[in-house]
Amino acid sequence: MPLTTSKGAYMVEELMPIFETSSERERWIRDHATYYTLTWMSNRKHYTFYYSKLRKAQINGRVAADFIARKPVMIYAVYCPDDTTEVGLSTWIETIYPKRQKS
């Protein structure tokens, strides 16, 4: 049973450590992520894809940046404190920029 307060919100302090700096928090979420999100915006439409492994997100992000979107693509790590929900804490991991095409 997930830990909740009287209002139903997760008591995140019980599920993950308290961090001194934001870089510690980012590193912890990156290492313990439940899934990774690849996202970009094109023609006023927001595209989002989900991956279980960071390496898969990076490979598909390179393809998306170079050939599909031709724009920067962002990767986020998402940590879900409870396995029954897909909503959790997220942090930006990296931005993949498209390689210049030879003319």
Question: Which has more pLDDT, 34 or 101?
Answer: 34
pTM for the full model? 0.77
Distance CA 54, CA 77 (A): 8
The reported pLDDT for the residue numbered 95 is 95
pLDDT digits (tens, 9 = 90+) for 72-103: 999 999 988 777 777 788 899 999 999 876 65
Strands (DSSP E) contained in 4-100 are 35-42, 45-51, 73-79, 89-96
Question: Is the CB of residue 95 less than 8 Å from the CB of residue 84?
Answer: no
Distance CA 96, CA 6 (A): 41
